[in-house]
Amino acid sequence: MTCTGMNMKSSSTVFREKIQFGKVERCIDMGRRPVHFILSTLFIATIFSIFLLYSPNPLYLISKQGLEQQASSPMQGHKSHQKRESCDLSKGHWVRESRGSFFYTNSSCATIPESKNCFMQGRMDMDFLNWRWKPDQCDLPRFNAKTFLQIVQGKTMAFIGDSVTRNHMESLLCLLSQEEIPEDIYKDSEDRFRTWYFHRSNFTLKVLWTKFLIAGEERMINGTGSSIFDLQLDKVDDGWAKHLPGVDYAIVSAGHWFFRVMYLHEGDNVVGCVYCNEPNVTNRNVDFALQMSFRATFNYINGCKNCSGLVTLLRTFAPAHFENGAWNTGGYCNRTGPFNETEIDLTSSEWQMRNAQVKEIKRARKFGGNQGKRFGVVDVTKAMLMRPDGHPGEHWGNKWKGGLNDCVHWCMPGPVDTWSEIFMAVLRKEAGLSSL
């Protein structure tokens, strides 16, 4: 009797085994040879168990479709992992979402500065909150204050830079305060250096204010500031540098103060000038001065002997959006929605500023790796080029300044909160918690 001729509904149980390798087919009629069946079954079970225990390639139960997919693309899983690893958070677009970037309100965050509290200052439109940044290659996780505080537990974080840097820190402070209310433990007389402490998380958050990161002095004419600055390209501003030891995470940024007349010095020598056009003085672009500032900053960090384990993150330049004039010539920013990618200029001076910063963080990473220093990038420039609607504009309590518009800083809540989402993704990667 052949196997195909057996009656599968008979009282005799049939065990059928097919082995494709060698095309051998054996059939055992259990009704006639029960002893052989039992012995064979035990033998096969033993061999199968040994295979499961010691095989370097464990056996997976997968569907036929899964087998076909693996056969046609054996590196598919590897490529998927590579895609996650190489996801560039800076490349993407804004997508409409009703929940948007609305993480907190006037009532849920008591530390929103009045100058960035756009709704308190009379802004009526709210649609600018209903957009989320969507990277092209992956999804950007929402900010999670509890997870963030777990990552930085027992650490000290310092935001180093100008008032836009502080704007970022103030946004982060509001986001974190939804999980834990910090204590304001230090403020200098000018409110430029400030410290908050999260008791439950044992986390210290600082802001260290500096115009240029490097040493710079404004020229005075008859006791009045001239808006002309002398910058020392080979010396950092000691105001922030002296606070660096003991910091675990430093978020560094600068840029907006560089759009001024500046004489550039190395030691006692003038090596260039921005917006000067003087004979016998090398004319330099703004991005050159900015790049040299970041080079000096990162050189100082790499050379800091009391900064073991420091993680330094560059937050790239966030552009202003003045239209029909500059800040002091009637420029304004009254848009209510984002630009799309075709409406921004990636050859602009703002983009060149970003490129100068990124060049220096790459250089710093190369030289700092051997010293245990780590460097990362929170790249927000392209995303923020698309958000002319995110500034306070006239809604910042500006009556005492003659009605000038603020198209440099960012409303809270608003697109600025996305910076902390990108920041957290970078921070998770540094902590080994994510492949983004």
Q: Which residues are catalytic?
A: 163, 406, 409
Do 296 and 239 touch, CB atoms closer than 8 A?
A: no
Q: What is the phi-psi region of residue 222: left when phi exceeds 0, alpha when psi lies from -120 to 50, beta otherwise? A: left
Hey, what's the torsion of the CAs at 379, 381, 383, 384, to 10 degrees?
130
Q: Which residues 6+ apart lie within 8 Å of 18 measured at CB?
A: 25
Distance, in Å, from the CA atom of 366 to the CA atom of 383, rounded to the nearest integer, reads 27
Paired tokens of 207: 């802001």
Paired tokens of 393: 């504009």
- Relative to beta strand 24-29, strand 183-187 is unpaired
Do 375 and 359 touch, CB atoms closer than 8 A?
A: no
- 57-70 b/e with 16+ CB inside 10 Å = b? eeeeeeeeeeeeee
DSSP line for 215-279:
EEEEEEETTEEEEEEEEEEEEE-HHHHTT-TT-SEEEE---GGGSSEEEEEETTEEEEEES---T
Distance, in Å, from the CA atom of 390 to the CA atom of 418, rounded to the nearest integer, reads 11
Peptide bond into 56 cis (omega under 30): no
What value, to the nearest 5°, has the Cα angle with vertex 57 and ends 53 and 63? 105
Paired tokens of 371: 């010293």
Distance, in Å, from the CA atom of 273 to the CA atom of 280, rounded to the nearest integer, reads 10
Distance, in Å, from the CA atom of 93 to the CA atom of 91, rounded to the nearest integer, reads 7
Distance, in Å, from the CA atom of 281 to the CA atom of 264, rounded to the nearest integer, reads 10
* DSSP state at residue 177: H
